[in-house]
């Protein structure tokens, strides 16, 4: 699939829809979410799966970067590619996002879908409720987390006296790239792969 101007327009329509949907999830889960300005934990280590259209949109955003930032991203990207080519581990290669500059996303407006869900509890492929890794830093969901049993504690939730339960939503890439709205506008996402692998195609 090569991404056309029309595809980008459809994707931007979808992003508007997604922002409202995710905004409602974040609002609903706000008693358990402690994301704050300057925290970049979610962008420090990951695979960052991106579909073709998401990556094309991200690259579109690089036109707005100043020369210095652009060069820094380029340097980060080359370093990560090198580390990946030398990586011999069995687990997926994880890295700090090349767009994270001074602990901030330099392409925030153009960030991917996975980036927009950072911070929310989610379901694993086998339907287990998982909380973001920053729970270990005393951040998201830490006020209701049972660290011994690695799960959300009903007891802690009830002790807090909060009406809204801690919940996971279907924010995995499979759900975020397949729904009625997407079908209604005829949006196609294309192939999906870790962000760093898309750089090989540039
Ligand atoms: S694109 Fe931005 S929000 Fe997404 S992982 Fe990279 S730095 Fe974080």
pLDDT, one tens digit per residue, over 161-197 is 999 999 999 898 888 999 999 999 999 999 999 999 9
With a Cβ cut-off of 6 Å, ligand 1 is lined by: 43, 48, 97, 99-100, 105, 107, 111-112, 115
Residue nearest to atom 1 of ligand 1 (CA): 111
Q: Is 90 helix (H, G, I), strand (E, B) or coil?
A: coil
Helix (H, G, I), strand (E, B) or coil at 165: coil
Q: Which of 41, 57, 107 to mutate to test the pocket of ligand 1 (most atoms within 8 A of CB)?
A: 107
Cα 60 from Cα 105, distance rounded (Å): 15
Specify the residue with its C-alpha closest to ligand 1, atom 2: 105
pLDDT in tens, 25-73: 999 999 999 999 889 999 999 999 999 999 999 999 999 999 999 999 9
Atom of ligand 1 nearest to the CA of 111: 1
Strands annotated E in the chain: 49-51, 100-101, 104-105, 122-123, 129-130, 145-146, 151-152, 192-194
- pLDDT surpasses 90 at 202: no
| Kind plus residue range of the DSSP H or E element containing 123 | strand 122-123
Among 15, 51, 97, the mutation site with the greatest number of ligand 1 atoms within 8 A of its Cβ is 97
**Tens-digit pLDDT profile for residues 75-129:** 999 999 999 999 999 999 999 999 999 999 999 999 999 999 999 999 887 888 9
Nearest CA to ligand 1 atom 5: 43
Q: What is the pLDDT of residues 134-158, one digit of tens each?
A: 999 999 999 999 999 999 999 999 9
pLDDT at 1 over 80: no
């Amino acid at each position: 699939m090569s991404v056309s101007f029309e595809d980008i327009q459809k994707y931007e329509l979808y992003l508007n829809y997604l922002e409202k949907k995710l905004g409602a999830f974040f609002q609903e889960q706000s008693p358990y979410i402690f994301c704050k300005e300057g925290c970049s934990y979610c962008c420090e280590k990951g695979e960052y799966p991106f579909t073709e259209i998401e990556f094309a949109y991200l690259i579109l955003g690089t036109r707005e970067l100043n020369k210095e930032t652009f060069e820094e991203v380029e340097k980060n990207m080359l370093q990560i590619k090198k580390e990946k080519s030398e990586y011999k581990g069995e687990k997926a290669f994880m890295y700090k996002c090349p767009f994270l500059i001074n602990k901030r996303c330099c392409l925030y407006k153009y960030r991917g879908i996975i980036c927009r869900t950072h911070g929310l509890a989610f379901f694993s492929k086998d339907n287990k409720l998982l909380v973001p890794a920053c729970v270990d830093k005393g951040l998201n969901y830490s006020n209701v987390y049972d660290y011994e049993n690695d799960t959300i504690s009903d007891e802690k939730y009830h002790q807090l006296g909060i009406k809204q339960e801690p919940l996971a939503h279907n924010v995995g890439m499979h759900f975020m790239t397949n729904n009625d709205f997407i079908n209604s506008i005829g949006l196609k996402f294309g192939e999906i792969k870790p962000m760093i692998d898309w750089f090989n195609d540039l």
